[in-house]
């Protein structure tokens, strides 16, 4: 009996991701995919990044959540074009979702697309979106063992932003162990310790991201 093998879901997603990448590059848009566990501070970092980059780049945002539009409403107050994606229970964005979002953004008038993925450190690792860079946001209160628990997400990220460093005196967090774990998964990993509350470290993070964007635009 002949056994028919259907095209894998991930294969179809990867194809759509390539189409998204083509559309982004046609319009000279650099896309950054932010991942994190819930509460790590993705939205806070996103807002700090928008405020630092908006004088240099035209920015659009895609907000991914299981439900609600709270984060999108926060972004829209800054006058930034934003599309909310509610996944209805799915723990990640996928390439088709991003494709639909792009159809509702003014792609002719954007230089940068900031994508806030659903708060999860497992599922987003398997679903490419067509982005140019992946940034993982971790936070001090989560503990220094996070890289050991979610190795794929850390190893595939182009940079790790360690948020809420202002809380380090009050929690059991060993920064040396965290750095060692991250570098063990990705040699030479780029890590940015920041506090979105105090602003510490934001300049260094933004400087790196700006250079990444300009590098992609020159390519």
∠ CA 143-69-97, nearest 5°, is 85
- In this prediction, residue 11 carries a pLDDT of 86
Q: Which pTM does this prediction carry?
A: 0.93
∠ CA 121-39-98, nearest 5°, is 55
Measured between alpha carbons, how far is 30 from 114 in angstroms, rounded to an integer? Answer: 9
What domains lie within the chain, and their CATH numbers?
Answer: 9-218 (3.40.50.300)
Phi, psi for residue 114 in degrees, rounded to 5: -100, 120
Mean of pLDDT over the chain: 94
- What is the strand order of the sheet 191-193 is part of? 82-86, 59-65, 112-116, 30-36, 133-139, 159-163, 191-193
Show the tokens assigned to 137.
Answer: 């946001």
Angle separating helix axes 9-26 and 95-102, nearest 10 degrees: 30
- In this prediction, residue 4 carries a pLDDT of 47
- In this prediction, residue 1 carries a pLDDT of 55
- In this prediction, residue 10 carries a pLDDT of 73
Report, as ranges of residue numbers, the positions in the chain whose pLDDT lies below 70.
1-9
- Provide the 8-state DSSP code for 140: G
- In this prediction, residue 6 carries a pLDDT of 47
């Amino acid at each position: 009996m002949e056994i028919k093998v259907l095209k894998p879901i991930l294969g179809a997603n990867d194809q759509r991701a390539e189409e998204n990448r083509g559309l982004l590059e046609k319009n000279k848009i650099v896309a950054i995919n932010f991942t994190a566990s819930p509460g790590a501070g993705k939205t806070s970092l996103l807002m700090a990044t928008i405020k630092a980059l908006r004088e240099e780049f035209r920015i659009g945002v895609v907000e991914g959540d299981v439900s609600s539009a709270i984060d999108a409403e926060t972004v829209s107050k800054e006058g930034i074009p934003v599309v909310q994606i509610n996944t209805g229970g799915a723990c990640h964005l996928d390439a088709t979702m991003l494709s639909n979002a792009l159809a509702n953004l003014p792609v002719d008038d954007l230089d940068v697309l900031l994508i806030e993925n659903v708060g999860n450190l497992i599922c987003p690792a398997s679903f490419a979106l067509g982005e140019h860079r992946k940034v993982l946001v971790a936070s001090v209160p989560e503990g220094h063992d996070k890289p050991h628990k979610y190795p794929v997400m850390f190893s595939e990220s182009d940079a790790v932003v360690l948020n809420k460093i202002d809380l380090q005196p009050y929690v059991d967090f060993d920064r040396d162990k965290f750095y060692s774990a991250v570098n063990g998964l990705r040699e030479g990993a780029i890590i940015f310790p920041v506090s979105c509350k105090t602003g510490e470290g934001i300049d260094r993070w933004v400087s790196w991201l700006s250079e990444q964007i300009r590098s992609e635009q020159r390519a």
